[in-house]
Amino acid sequence: MDQDNNRRIYRPLVSRDKAPVFAPPLRVNIPKRTVTSVACESCRRRKIKCNGLRPKCLACTNRRAECVYLAKPTETRISAIKRKHDELQRQLEDGGSSESDLQQLFEAIRDRDEKDAMTIMRRIRAGEDPSTILRHLRAGDLLLQLHLAPETRFRHSFPPTFRMPKRLQVPDNVYFHSLSFCPDTTSRLEYWNPESLRYRFLAESRRLWELEMEKEPRITTLQAAMVLNPVYNMSSMETQASQGLSFGAQALALSHKLGILESLPAKLDQRQRHVYGYTAWCLYYWISIQYYTYVKPPHFRQPPQTPLPDPGKSPQWYEGVTYRYPRSRTVSSQDFGNLFKARCEMVQIANQVSVGMCQSKNEGKLPPSEGLLGLLDRYQQWFSKLPPSLQPAHIVYPVELQLHLQYHTFVMNLCEFLVSRDGNTLAPEANKKVHHALSQSRDSFVSIMLLFYLRHGYDMQDRIMTQYLSILAYMSLKQLGDRSLTSQEDVEESRGLVYLAAKGLSVQGGYYYLTYLVSLALQKEMSPDDLAVLQQSTVGRKEDSSTGIIRARHEETQDPIHIISIKDRRLGDLVKEYSAMRIQN
C-alpha cells in the first residue's frame, strides 16, 4: 500500500524522445610532409628546412648562397659517411700510394717539356685523379709518344748464315748507293785530317797549352795535361818522336814543381790542401796504370805524402757522384769515396809487381818467387777487405765492374808471369795456389764481362773497355787454338765470346782510332767463317787505298796491347804490319 502511495507522489516523466544522430565531421585532406633524405650543407649549418633540390635547393636559391651536397643523389647521409670512411680506410691500407702518385705527377710536370706539362696541368684542373693521369702516362698515350722520340737508326739484320752475293757488291749497283749519306764527309777517326773537328780542337788545345807552359805552373794546367794525355793516346796522335815529352811526363814535371806529391806547406789554406792532395792521388793512379800498361818501371817509388782519409769519417774529401739514367725517375748516388780509395790502394800493389816484372824484362833478373807470392797474397787480402758496396754481390755501375776487371787483370798478369817464366822453382803447394788463382780470375773476368754487356752493353763510349775487350777476345782465341779443347760445346762457347768481344771492339772502334786498329788486328786472326758472321751484324769502317796510305805514313802510337801475358809487343807493331800491307797494296 505504501509503495503505491509513493508512486503517486512523483510526477510522471515525460517520455524520451528519439536519440539524436550525430554526423561525422567533415574530413580535410592534409598534404603529406615531404621527406628530404639529405639536406645541403648550408641548410644543415643554419638548421632550416631544405627541400633537397639539386643542383641548388630552394632556400639557397632564395638566399643566393652556395649549395653543396656531400652525398650523391642516390645516397643517404649514412651511406655518404660510410663511403667516405671506406675511402679513408683504403688510403690508409695503401700506405703512401697517394703521396707516391703526387710525387710522380710532380716529377712528370718537372721533367717533361712545356707542352706536355701544360697538358698535364689542364687534366689536373679538369678534376682528373692523379692515379688516372699516371696510368695514361704509363700506358703509352699521346704524351708518352711525344716524350720518347722514335729510333731512326734501327735496321733489320740478315740471318747469321746469310752472305751477301759478291756479284751484287760492285760499284755499279745503284741501289746500294745511299742518298742520305755523303761518303766524302770527314770521319771522326781520321785524326790526321786537318778538316776534322777533332784535329782542329786538339790543335787549338796544343796552341793554348804551349802558351800556358810559358806561365807559372798552376794546378789547373796539371789537370789539363791529365785530360789531354789519354785523348791523344786514344787518337793515335801522341808520339815521342814528333811531340817530345808526352802530356803525362809534363804533368809529372808540373807536379814536382808544385810539390803536390810531397808534404804540403803550411801556408796553403784548407781548400788548396784539398785540391792539391786530391790531384796528387789522381795523378798517382793514372800514371801508375799507364806505366804498368807500358811495362815500364813505375815512376813513383812511394805514394803521395797526403794520406787518403777514411771515406766513412771524411766523405766531403771525396765529394759525391750522383747521376740519373735517361729512363729513370730517381737520382742514383755512388759510393765514390770507397771506390777511389780502393783504386789507389790496388795500384800501390801493382807498382811493386811492376818493379819485379820490369827487372826481369830489362835487366834479365828474376825476382824471388817468395816476394811475388807475397804480392799475390796482398792482392787477395785487398779484395777480401773491400767495403760492402764494392763486394761482387753488390756491384752494379760500370766503374764498379771495371774495378773488379782491373783486379782480375792484375792477378792474371802476376800468375802468368809466375807460371811461364824460365827457371820456375815454385813449390808444388805454391804452384797449385797460383794455378787456382789464375783459373779463378779468368772465370771471374769472363763473368764480369758478360754481366757488363747484359747490364750496360758495349755501345757506350768508354776507352777503358778497349783493354778489357781485347783481353776477352784473345783469351777466347787462345782457347779456340787449344788442341785439348775437343768438346763441341766448349768450342761454341769460346767462339761466342770471341764474337761478342769483336763486336764490342768494332763498336768502340767508331769512337777511337786506337780501338779501331785493335779491332782490325783481331779480325785478322779470326777465321773466315767467324769473320763473315761478325760482318753481318756490325757496320765496320773500311779504308780505301788512299786513306790507308795517308794514315800509314802519318805516325804510330806507343800504346801497347797486352792480352794474355806481358810481352814486348806494342800496338805500334800491329800498326806497322797493317801499314806495310796497305802501302804494298
**Banded pLDDT at 244 (limits 50, 70, 90):** very low
Q: Which of 258, 411, 295, 398 has its CA nearest to residue 349?
A: 411
Please name which of 407, 304, 414 lies closest in space to residue 353, comparing C-alpha atoms.
414
| Confidence at residue 214, expressed as pLDDT on a 0 to 100 scale | 87
Per the omega criterion (within 30 degrees of 0), is the bond before 24 cis?
no
pLDDT higher than threshold 70 for residue 289: yes
Segment among 209-218, 258-267, 303-312, 418-427 with least mean pLDDT: 418-427
Task: Give the model's pLDDT for residue 231.
Answer: 81
pLDDT for 537: 64
Distance CA 229, CA 227 (A): 6
Higher per-residue confidence, 241 vs 64: 64
Q: What CA–CA distance (Å, rounded) separates 317 from 273?
A: 11
The arithmetic mean of pLDDT across residues 299-309, rounded, is: 91
- What secondary structure does DSSP assign to 553-565, as a single string? TT-----B---SS
**Residue 6 — very low, low, confident or very high, per pLDDT cuts 50/70/90?**
low
- Distance, C-alpha 445 to centroid of its chain: 20
The arithmetic mean of pLDDT across residues 284-300, rounded, is 87
Kindly provide the residue ranges of all beta strands, DSSP E only, lying in 435-482, ordered along the sequence.
Answer: none
31 compared with 218, residue with greater pLDDT: 218
Q: What mean pLDDT is predicted for residues 473-487?
A: 79
pLDDT of residue 515: 84
Cell 707542352 belongs to residue: 115
Compute, in degrees rounded to 10, the torsion defined by CA atoms 478, 395, 289, 201: 100
Average of pLDDT values for 217-230? 90
Average of pLDDT values for 130-148?
63
Taking only the tens place, the pLDDT of each residue in 343-363 is: 999 999 999 998 877 776 666
- Domains of the chain by start residue, with CATH: 35-95 (4.10.240.10), 96-144 (no CATH)
Sign of CA dihedral 69, 73, 79, 82: negative
Q: Rounded to the nearest 5 degrees, what angle is found at the Cα of 421, between the Cα atoms of 417 and 422?
A: 175
- More confident: 205 or 21: 205
Cell of 160: 747469321
Report yes or no: 232 and 247 within 8 Å, Cβ to Cβ.
yes
Average model confidence (pLDDT) across the chain: 78
Is the confidence at residue 407, as pLDDT, over 90? Answer: yes
Report the alpha-carbon distance of residue 219 to residue 275 in Å, rounded: 8
Q: What is the pLDDT of residue 239?
A: 47
C-alpha cell at 309: 782519409
**Which residue(s) pair with 570 in the sheet?**
560
For residue 489, is pLDDT > 60? Answer: yes
Q: Quick one: cell of 133?
A: 693521369
Averaged pLDDT, 530-542: 67
* Other beta carbons less than 10 A from residue 370's beta carbon: 9
Beta bridge pairs of residue 323: 332
Is pLDDT above 80 for 167? Answer: no
- Predicted local confidence at residue 94, as pLDDT: 63
Return d(Cα 562, Cα 579) in angstroms, integer.
Answer: 20
* CA atoms of 286 and 406, how far apart (whole Å): 13
Q: Which residue has the higher pLDDT, 23 or 534?
A: 534
Residues 340, 317 contacting (CB under 8 angstroms)? no
E-state strands within 325-411: 332-334
| For residues 481-509, average pLDDT | 83
- Window from 8-22, 268-282, 443-457 with minimum mean pLDDT: 8-22
